[in-house]
């Protein structure tokens, strides 16, 4: 492979950060010139992305090893590989659903806590236990947190009935 570079992967390799194609280039300043791919968004001199970079020989060896791995599995037991791939997809989806359910539960729990704190603080204020100044300071804090959690809960499912709970204050400023 020494000295024989081509652009096999052009258009196929993308920057993990910006999604642009990596462009091919060659470093001839090195005593042993080598090919490499780098982020084309960075390469334009716009500095819009960072210098993501991979050597051609490193990429070639990696892709080759993956191809050998998968073709080995196909030859060994195609049926089992197919089952494994389908199972992996199921597992991935189940894990994503589980993660989202956990986040939803956490958001609901914290929102309930903030609601309780807010109600308690209001009672304290009504009973004269906290000053007007502290009341307005804390109520601002809790209200913004309430709004934040409400929005996060809504973002889980835009069609959920939670949308109806969006505070009235958001509607201010409409004609």
Q: Give the residues lining the site for Zn ion (CB under 5 A).
A: 15, 17-18, 39, 41, 49
DSSP category for residue 167? -
Burial class of 99 by CB neighbour count within 10 A (0 to 12, 13 to 18, 19+) = exposed
Q: Which residues pair with residue 54 across a beta bridge?
A: 37
Q: Which is nearer to Zn ion, 17 or 77 (CB)?
A: 17
d(CA 24, CA 60): 13
d(CA 94, CA 90): 6
Output the smallest distance, CB 135 to Zn ion, in A. 49
Output the smallest distance, CB 138 to Zn ion, in A. 44
Output the smallest distance, CB 41 to Zn ion, in A. 5
Q: Which is nearer to Zn ion, 56 or 149 (CB)?
A: 56
Q: Which is nearer to Zn ion, 13 or 39 (CB)?
A: 39
Angle between helices 132-156 and 56-126 (to 10 degrees): 140
Q: Which is nearer to Zn ion, 19 or 33 (CB)?
A: 19
Output the smallest distance, CB 15 to Zn ion, in A. 3
């Amino acid at each position: 492979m020494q000295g024989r570079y081509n652009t096999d992967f052009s258009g196929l390799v993308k920057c993990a950060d910006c999604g642009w194609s990596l462009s091919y280039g060659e470093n001839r300043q090195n005593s042993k010139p080598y090919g490499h791919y780098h982020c084309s968004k960075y390469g334009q001199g716009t500095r819009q992305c960072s210098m993501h970079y991979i050597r051609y020989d490193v990429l070639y060896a990696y892709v080759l090893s993956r191809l050998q791995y998968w073709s080995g599995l196909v030859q060994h037991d195609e049926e089992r590989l197919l089952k494994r791939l389908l199972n992996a997809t199921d597992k991935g989806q189940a894990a994503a659903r589980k993660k989202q359910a956990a986040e939803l539960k956490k958001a609901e729990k914290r929102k309930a806590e903030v609601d309780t704190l807010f109600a308690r603080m209001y009672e304290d204020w009504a009973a004269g236990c906290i000053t007007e100044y502290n009341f307005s300071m804390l109520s601002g804090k809790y209200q913004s947190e309430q709004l934040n959690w409400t929005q996060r809960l809504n973002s889980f499912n835009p069609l959920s009935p939670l949308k109806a709970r969006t505070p009235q204050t958001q509607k201010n400023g409409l004609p």
